[in-house]
Each structure stands twice: as structure tokens, then as C-alpha cells.
A and B are shown apart, each in its own frame.
Chain A
Amino acid sequence: MTLSPAPIAPAPAPLLIRGARPYGEDVQDVLVEDGLISAVGTDLPNPGDVEEIEGDGCILLPGLVDLHTHLREPGGEEAETVETGTRAAARGGFTAVHAMANTNPVADTAGVVEQVLRRGEDAAWCAVHPIGAVTVGLAGERLAELESMASSKARVRVFSDDGKCVHDPVLMRRALEYVKTFDGVIAQHAQDPRLTEGAQMHEGRVSAELGLTGWPSVAEESIIARDVLLAEHVGSRLHVCHLSTAGSVEIVRWAKLRGVDVTAEVTPHHLLLTDEEARGYDALYKVNPPLRTQADVEAVRAGLADGTIDIVATDHAPHPQDAKDREWDTAAFGMTGLETALSIVQSTMVDTGAMSWRDVARVLSEKPSLIARDDSQGRPIREGEVANLLLWDPRPRRRVDTAEHASRSHNSPFAGTELPGANRLTLLAARPTVREGRIVERESAAGAAGEC
């Protein structure tokens, strides 16, 4: 049940983290040996010559898991590659990402998902779990070969046409039914296509003034309402991607009360930003679903705090500068998020007192893994577990500088914003991928071994 480290790679050097606070709670020492957490306790003896890392009261979390990442490879390498995207993930404190299927070619066959899996293993900055497309070519017309992807080496459990909505109700029903075979889940991008033709931003007072075509809340809510009823009817698992409106929170809350097997995610940017950001026509703020109103921001925060919303996922959507540095209506949707996600969650949820660090571990690590049925990540911090860990210092505050980002793209709406927190150490199966915010480049020997 534990992940075995890549067989050829030599075991990482042991580490002793002194005086960190697992889940932000009592101060503990954590000893990492042979890829595993070998001891957790106070005043642990150094077994001899083991490097000690001064935890200094920093928060120790299980490595973060992103259920919604666009790595863009294959086909979009100008924006991101598996290599650069997973480096960005590591800098953000992630030890696993789930890569969305809207690549070119689309990840709608066992061949493509296995290719993405292999590229992730080669890059090795974090685990990469391919998400499979629900429909062939994301066209929303017929189901992709879901079972083949599920039984491939990639062991796909999450299926999504993200970027597009599976809007045909019959097709959605069939998909929900079909993935029951292997306990899969359909992750729906809830957007009624007819209600959002040409849509540019949240439909409301700001769109009315700016003359940008509106993306009404109801276009999201109507699909979520339909889907939870479908999931209830066929007894399947539904995951709602990047929920963004107060109404959506209400619908999911209602569905959960009815016992519908539904989970929901919110992005960091929907926890912080509103449609007011569009006033400068800076397409960095153009995202799908769009930034909503302050009332929506408050509703999704409350929903995340009370568990209606299960997880935070980044929807990390890198784009080359040309796709953003242009007129709003011709610019691409999406923002990068991996390298700012935990800072945003800290500032919006933890620093405001709405959530504890244990809650953060739940929404950014444990629950995403559970939804994806991946038992190798999101594990407890205890003896015998694989050492996927993040040592996070919540105290420093600094301005976001995208020039420091590992992502190939720089379309972060938080550039220049002062945010809290710093990634002091990220361990991927005990191997440091990040120290003091910087990627730990591998020794050439290890790199060569990885290529064997």
C-alpha cells in the first residue's frame, strides 16, 4: 500500500527534521530514512551523521496533491511541459498532480495517458497522475475508452472533459454509470454551453459596464443541479470542478444532505479575486469559470470551511504571454496557480481563522487523493509512511515575482501581490525536491539513473 520509490534510483539520504509542527500542532521531530518516515517524536536522537533540518516551528504537512493541473504536454509545450509543470508543483509544495486531459492529442486513450505517466516518471519532481477524457476528443459526442485507461499502467480513476462541459445529459449519465466498474469519478466542468456562448466574464454589474459578454452563474449552477440529480439517480460518484458561485455551494450542500456521492473543489483564485479585477481589461484575470462577486467569494470560503467544498485544486492553466497580452475577448482563459496555491489558502482561510492547518492537509492533500482513489499520497504523518512531506513557514511575507516561478508561463494574477508563507522543504519519497523555495537539481548520476 505504500509507494515503492523508483527501483533504480538510490535511496535518498536520511534527514532529521527538528522542531516542526505537524499539522500546525505540537512540536515534533521527524526522522526520514530509506524513503520512509521512520520516527516521529520529541527529542529524537540523531542516529549518527544524519543531516538535521531546523524546523523552527514551521508547519509540517503531507505533500500537497493537486487534482486539477494543466501540464499542457503533449501539444502545448510552448506554455508548459511535464518537466516545468512538475517543477512548479514542487515549488508550490505539491508531491502529486493530476494532469488534465485537454492536451493535444487529447488524453482519451490508454496510449496517451501512459505517455503522460512516463513523462511524469522521467521528470520526477512530483507524482503525475493522468486524468482521462470522458468523451473522445473532448467533443462531447461519445464516450472515450474509459476502462482501457483505468486498466492501463496509468490506472486512471478521474475522468474529465475539463475546459468543456459534458453537457449532453444522456452522455453524462452513461459516463457516471460506466465508471462505477472501477470506482472511477467524473470530474465535471460545469458550464452550460448555450448560456455561455461568447462569454468573457461573470455576468453582472461589472460586465454590464465593461461591455463584455456575461458568463452567468446559472450556467454553472444548472449543470451542477442536473449532475447531482443524475449521480443520485444512477448511484455514481460525481466531482464538481472549480465551483465558483454561492448558488453552486448551496446546491452541493443540498445534494450532500440528500446523500448524493458528490465532492467539490474550489480554486485558490476563486477564494480571493472578484470580477472587479476585470476593470483594467488585463486578461491575466480572464479565467473559466470567471471570477465572481465578493458575495460568491465569501460563499465559497464558507463552503470550504464547513466541508461542503471538499478540496482546493489549482486549475493551474499556463499560457504563453502572447495568449494573454492582448484584447480581453481574444485572450485565453486561465491562470497559473501551483506556485501560489498554499499562500492563497493560508491568507484566505488560515490567517482569517476559518480553517486550521489540519484542515489544509485535508483539502489540499488527503481528500484529493481519496477522490482520485490514490492511496500513495495524502497519507498521515506517521512512522512507516512514505516521506511525502512539506515544511511550510507561514511567517514570511513577500511579493510574488513570476520571474522566480518554475512554470514556463507567467500568467499569474498574483504577480506583485504580497502573500504569506514559504516552502522551506518539500520531500518526494524522502528526496528533497525543494529547499528554501529553490528546486534541488539532481546529481547527474541520479539523472542518468533515471533515464535508464
Chain B
Amino acid sequence: MKHLITIADLDRAAAIELLDTSERMAATQERQMRKLPALLGSTIVNLFMEDSTRTKLSFEAAAKRLSADVIGFAAKGSSISKGESLKDTALTLRAMGADAVVVRAPSSGAAHKLAHAGWIDVPIINAGDGTHQHPTQALLDAFTLRRHLGARSASGSLDGAGLDGLHVVIVGDILHSRVARSNVQLMTMLGARVTVVAPPSLVPVGADVWPCEVSYDFDDAIAQGPDAVMMLRVQRERMLGGGYFPSAAEYTRLLQLTDARAARLPEHAIIMHPGPMNRGFEIAGGAADGPRSVIIEQVAAGVVVRMAVLFHLLASNEREGS
């Protein structure tokens, strides 16, 4: 694995390896000295061409805890907003001696382009590209889910465990969601059964071959007793302005994780959200803050999972082909 662009870059073994490494990283984060020297001397560029506070901070924290130097390259006020092309940006980063580039971009495929266009030859980590993929988000979701419901060995270890037998329900705007695309691929690869719930206008044409079930009925999905419910963020402008949905009220009625719906979930089920949340829209405050909610844990998981990804991509010479 030279780059992490899409979940398809991983197989089950590689995904589990990342999750196992994430567990080790998490263990180091409980120590008094949390900084590890693994990437000392490396320079990681955070190329964020789209606003994203939490993903950017999470990658930055991960890189710094591995002792890498981090250079932020944000769209606002940078040459990108002045019309510089991705190619010119890549050539600039190459000249600066970046050892890896974490890229967030509004265009689907931007990370792939950066990795394969021949402009720059360092590991590229996709931090979200358009409506395509967000692989580290899926990994942190899988990590969180595995910690709660994964199969532990007799000694309590999660090493080597997948998500076999778990049922995950993903609810919301599947059409425009890179989080959903990555999660459907990763969770099913790890053995989970996935149901996506959305109105038909927010399910992509062509999703019929996805390895998941598609449902239009949230209550029906809840009645199946899922182990986890993941609520996707609703982008109000897109939803209402784009005509994908008649009104906020109707969305709320059909697809909000209300306190009542949360109460019908099995005892052990967890509630997830990639954030940032629209409280009162896709998720009710009670469900977001209740004991089943693992939303804050997901944020912490983000740092250790990204440490694991950076570690595997940078702390080796596999990219030189040995």
C-alpha cells in the first residue's frame, strides 16, 4: 500500500492491520509521554482545498504525535483560491520536499489524480474527495465499532478481529456521501452487514450493485435490531435547494434519529455520527448525547487511526519497491 485513496486500496488483512496498529497507537496515548519518534524528520503536508476543521486537526495531531513536521496548505488565502491548479500545487509541494500529502478536495478523484498523475511521488492520503471516498473516516468508524462490539480473544485482545456478524445501518444522503461510500465498502469487507437508509432521491443510480441493502424505511431498519446506527450529516442547502427533499419537517419525520427511535434500538447498539452534527435535524439532542452515543469517541479514534495510517504509509520503504 503506497497510498490510501479509497477503501479499495485495502484488503481485509490490511484493514485489520491498520485497526490493530490503531489499538497500539491508542495504548501509547494513555501514557504520560504521548509523543512517539516514529516519523521524526518527516514533513507531512496537509493540503486542504475545502473547509474541514476536525479532519484537518485530527491529521495534524496524528502527525505531530508521531513527531512529523506538519505544513498546512489551506485553500483560503492560499494560491489555490487564486486559481492555481492542482498540478502546480503538487509540483510546489514536491519542490518543498514533502514526504506525504494529506489531501481534502471538493473534486471527486482529486486524491487519485494527485497520487497517479506523476506530479509528485510520495504517499497520498485521501482526507475526503468530493462525493467519492473518505477512507480514514471509515477506518475510525470501524475502529470505534470494533472496540465496542468486535470479537475479543480470551485475553481481551481485538487483534485480528473484524466486524463479522454485526449489522450497521447508515442513514441519510447516500448520494452525496463519501463517508457512506467508504463505510459500505470497509464494513462489508470486515464482515458486517450494512443497510443504507435514504429516500430514493438520495440513493445513487447504480448503487444496486453495492454490497449492502438499500431501504427507504428507517423504522423498518431499526426493527431489525441493528448493532450500530450511523447518521450522516445533512447539508441543508443541497437537500432543500437541490430539490432532493420537500422540506426539513418531512426529512425529520422520516429520517431523524429521534429519541423515540433511539429507544427502540437494542440495548447494546451504538449511535455514530461523523460530525459535525445538525442537532434537531438528522439527529435529536437526546440521541446524540445519550449513553449509546459514541460520537465523541469517534473523534478520539480519528487521531489514533490516522497515526496508524501515517505510520504504515511513511514508516517503511515499501514505496521504493523493496
Write the residues of chain A forming the contact surface with B, with a CB cutoff of 8 angstroms.
Answer: 200, 203-212, 214, 216, 280-281, 322, 325-330
Contacts and interface: CB of A to CB of B under 8 A. Distances in A.
Interface of B: 85-87, 105, 107-110, 112-113, 116-117, 129-133, 178, 181, 204-210
A203 B133 contact: no
Given A212-B108, A327-B107, A328-B113, A207 B85 contact: no
Top 4 A-B pairs ranked by shortest CB distance?
A281-B109, A208-B206, A211-B132, A211-B131
Contacts of A216: 205
Contacts of A206: 206
A209 B181 contact: yes
B206 A207 contact: yes
A327 B181 contact: no
A214 B206 CA distance: 10
A207 B208 CA distance: 12
Contact of A210 (B105, B109, B208): B109
Most buried by A among B105, B109, B133, B208: B109
B112 to A, nearest CB: 5
A205 B129 CA distance: 18
Contact of B113 (A207, A322, A327): A327
B262 to A, nearest CB: 30
Given A326-B86, A328-B109, A208 B204 contact: yes
B206 A281 contact: no
Contacts of B210: 208
Most buried by A among B110, B116, B204: B204
Nearest to A327: B107
B206 A327 contact: no
Given A210-B132, A211-B181, A328 B108 contact: yes
B133 A211 contact: yes
B112 A281 contact: yes
Contacts of A204: 205-206
Contacts of A329: 107-109, 130
Contacts of A328: 107-109, 113
A205 B206 CA distance: 4
Contacts of A280: 112, 116
Contacts of A214: 204-206
Contact of B87 (A208, A281, A325): A325
A210 B185 CA distance: 13
A328 B87 CA distance: 13
Contacts of A210: 108-109, 132
16 contacts: A200-B108, A203-B205, A204-B205, A209-B181, A211-B108, A211-B109, A211-B130, A211-B133, A212-B132, A216-B205, A281-B108, A281-B112, A281-B116, A326-B85, A328-B108, A328-B109
Contacts of B205: 203-204, 207-208, 214, 216
A253 B207 CA distance: 31
A326 B87 contact: yes
Contact of B209 (A205, A212, A325): A205
Given A327-B110, A329-B108, 9 more contacts: A200-B108, A205-B208, A206-B206, A208-B207, A208-B210, A211-B131, A212-B130, A326-B87, A327-B107
Contacts of B208: 205
A46 B132 CA distance: 67
A207 B110 contact: no
Contacts of B130: 211-212, 329
Most buried by B among A208, A325, A327, A329: A327
A207 B87 contact: no
A205 B110 CA distance: 20
Contacts of A326: 85-87, 113
A200 B129 CA distance: 15
